[in-house]
Amino acid sequence: MMTFKQFKQLSSEQQEIAIWSKGEPIATRSDSFHRYELLQLSSFYIEIVYSFRFNIIQYIAAFEDIDLLDPYLEEMDIDRFTGK
pLDDT tens-digit series, residues 19-54:
999 999 999 999 999 999 999 999 999 999 999 999
d(CA 58, CA 52): 10
* CA atoms lying within 13 Å on the CB side of residue 79: 1
Give the pLDDT confidence score for residue 56 in this predicted structure: 96
Confidence of residue 65 (pLDDT cuts 50, 70, 90): very high
Q: How confident is the model at residue 73 (pLDDT cuts 50, 70, 90)?
A: confident
- Backbone φ and ψ of 73, nearest 5°: -60, -35
